[in-house]
């Protein structure tokens, strides 16, 4: 997954919380993604932007991710949308992530398959009226019917004793606050943060809690590049990176 020669847009090191609460399952995620020059020895971000959707809706399930913002020239949520349209039967919650990985192995290039395996994913669905969360962080993790899954070790665990009795909006606010504290403490502002979105899944369906004000519309890396070139996506440079340096990589043409 390359943007243009040597430049890779990553949601990597982004952050989410997926938690079971009084109202259902709350998914909260940031929207920041970074442009990383993979031709350099450091691989440090040159710039970052906000607006990457990291919460996806499947048939009766909600999924969150961190990792590559684009897989094989398609935005990750577009890849998930294609996957969710493929099954001939409804998948059980513990089948979704294994099936997604298998779908990727059958439809993606070997390079993109490796990128998919590096994703950090969690999915939730109701089973016989009870919410269940399953996770993946390079390995498939045991599914749980209480508590939460998070992509980074925040202090969200402090509310675990009262989590099941908390309404969704309070859980979302607590999750965002814990993630912001983690970002500040670890100095990860270039790869995490920006605007947060939040969705609650209930037995009756989905409900938005917070939506992104300006989500990235580009469905492919090429479209993303065009929007960045046209300055239609607000990009923040990471010093000592310069616009000419970023522009040179954008102009250098798609990697083959």
pLDDT digits (tens, 9 = 90+) for 224-255: 888 988 889 999 998 888 888 777 766 664 43
At 20 the pLDDT is 98
Q: Given a cut of 50, is residue 4 above it in pLDDT?
A: no
Residue 120 contacts residue 136 (beta carbons within 8 Å): yes
Tell me what the mean pLDDT of segment 94-107 comes to: 96
What is the chain's mean pLDDT, rounded?
Answer: 89
Q: At what angle do helices 221-229 and 243-251 cross, to 10 degrees?
A: 140
Which pLDDT belongs to residue 38? Answer: 65
What are the structural domain ranges in the chain? 7-248
Q: Which CATH number fits domain 7-248: 3.40.50.1220, 3.60.20.10, 3.50.50.60, 3.20.20.105?
A: 3.60.20.10
In what side-by-side order are the strands of the sheet with 16-20? 148-150, 16-20, 25-29, 197-202, 205-210
């Amino acid at each position: 997954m390359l943007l243009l020669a040597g430049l890779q847009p990553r949601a990597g090191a982004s952050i989410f919380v997926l938690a079971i609460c009084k109202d259902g399952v709350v998914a909260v995620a940031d929207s920041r993604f970074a442009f990383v020059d993979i031709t350099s020895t450091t691989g440090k971000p040159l710039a970052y932007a906000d607006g990457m959707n990291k919460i996806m809706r499947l048939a009766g399930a909600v999924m969150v991710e961190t990792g590559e913002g684009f897989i094989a020239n398609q935005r990750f949520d577009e890849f998930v949308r294609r996957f969710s349209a493929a099954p001939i039967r409804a998948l059980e919650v513990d089948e979704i992530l294994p099936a997604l990985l298998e779908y990727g192995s059958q439809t993606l290039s070997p390079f993109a398959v490796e990128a998919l395996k590096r994703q950090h994913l969690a999915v939730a669905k109701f089973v016989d009226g009870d919410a269940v969360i399953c996770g993946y962080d390079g390995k498939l993790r045991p599914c749980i019917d209480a508590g939460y899954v998070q992509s980074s070790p925040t202090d969200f665990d402090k509310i675990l004793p009262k989590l099941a009795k908390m309404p969704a909006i309070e859980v979302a606010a607590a999750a965002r606050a814990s993630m912001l504290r983690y970002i500040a403490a670890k100095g990860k502002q270039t790869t995490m943060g920006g605007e947060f979105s939040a969705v609650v899944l209930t037995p009756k369906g989905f409900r938005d809690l917070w939506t992104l004000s300006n989500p990235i519309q580009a469905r492919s890396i090429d479209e993303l590049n065009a929007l960045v070139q046209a300055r239609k996506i607000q990009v923040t440079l990471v010093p000592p990176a310069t616009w000419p340096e970023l522009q040179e990589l954008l102009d250098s043409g798609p990697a083959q």
